[in-house]
């Protein structure tokens, strides 16, 4: 069996096991077995547990970012682009729950040696969203009312977080765990909720309709 194929199998297995168990709890034995190969072969091709995990994270993150990017038609109007990006995000995370779990749940531990890399990848996602928002704001501005960069960054972080949370909501595993009932939301629903939030927020902000605490 050619090396490339084997490597992919191993990554697939590793993503699944890491998503299920977490980095430390996952054992190389289990990964190797699931990949249908022997442990030494896993080491031969992927060097160490750490590198294997890194490779998984990188692959999944790149796939997610690529999915979002390619869904965004550069010629479309601003709102359409944001909408498509969101739908692609929810579609991809729903289609690849293990990869998503890896990125969202497992890869955040500070103190692990790959934390830095993971943080950078998440930042990439935020950057993509920041671009989307900035263009949306620019094109959609009814009047000359540029949002400060800092505010846009905040919005992007908030949106990414909201999207992550909604994606998690849609994940049946977390449903069971939390004891929630009722069907999880569809991608359309999740994207819709978020789109409305973003659209309304952007609109208000751009038009100066801010909420401010009443003087006490």
The residue within the footprint of a second copy, chosen from 1, 2, 208, 210 (CB under 8 A), is 210
What does the block give as tokens for 28? Answer: 């190389």
CA 167 to centroid of chain Cα atoms:
8
What secondary structure does DSSP assign to 183-199, as a single string? PPPPHHHHHHHHHHHHH
86 is an interface residue for a second copy by CB under 8 A = no
The residue within the footprint of a second copy, chosen from 23, 53, 90, 100 (CB under 8 A), is 23
State the DSSP code for 107. Answer: T
Stretch that binds DNA, among 19-27, 84-92, 119-127, 161-169 (CB under 7 A): 19-27
Judged by beta carbon distances under 5 to 8 A according to partner kind, the member of DNA, a second copy, none in contact with residue 120 is a second copy
Closest CB to DNA among 48 and 172? 48
Dist CA 58 CA 35 (whole Å): 19
Encoded one letter per residue, x for contact with DNA by CB under 7 A and - for no contact, window 28-67 reads: xx-------xxxxx-xx---xxx-----------------
* Other CB atoms within 10 A of residue 201 CB: 14
SS3 150: helix
111 is an interface residue for DNA by CB under 7 A = no
Q: Which residues contact 136 (CB under 8 A, 6 or more apart)?
A: 78, 79, 81, 82, 202
**Any long-range contacts for 28-33 (C-beta under 8 Å, 24+ apart)?**
28/52
186 is an interface residue for a second copy by CB under 8 A = no
The residues that touch a second copy, with contacts defined as CB under 8 A, are: 19-25, 79-80, 83, 101, 104-106, 108-112, 115-116, 118-120, 122-123, 150-151, 154-155, 157-166, 168-169, 173-174, 177-180, 182, 185, 189-190, 193-201, 203-205, 209-211, 213-214
């Amino acid at each position: 069996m050619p090396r490339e194929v084997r490597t992919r199998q191993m990554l697939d297995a590793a993503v699944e096991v890491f998503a299920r168990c977490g980095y430390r709890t996952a054992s190389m034995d289990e990964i190797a077995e699931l990949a249908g190969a022997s442990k030494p072969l896993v080491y031969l091709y992927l060097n160490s547990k750490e590198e294997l995990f890194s490779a998984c994270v990188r692959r999944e993150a790149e796939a997610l970012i690529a999915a979002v990017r390619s869904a965004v038609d550069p010629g479309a109007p601003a709102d359409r682009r944001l909408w498509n990006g969101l739908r692609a995000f929810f579609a991809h995370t729903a289609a690849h729950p293990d990869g998503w779990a890896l990125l969202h749940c497992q890869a955040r531990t500070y103190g692990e040696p790959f934390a830095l890399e993971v943080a950078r990848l998440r930042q990439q996602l935020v950057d993509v969203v920041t671009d989307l928002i900035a263009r949306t704001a620019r094109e959609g501005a009814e009047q000359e009312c540029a949002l400060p960069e800092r505010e846009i960054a905040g919005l992007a972080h908030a949106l990414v977080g909201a999207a992550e949370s909604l994606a998690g909501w849609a994940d049946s595993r977390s449903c069971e765990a939390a004891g929630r009932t009722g069907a999880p939301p569809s991608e359309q629903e999740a994207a819709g909720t978020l789109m409305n939030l973003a659209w309304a927020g952007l609109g208000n902000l751009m038009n100066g309709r801010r909420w401010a605490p009443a003087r006490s």
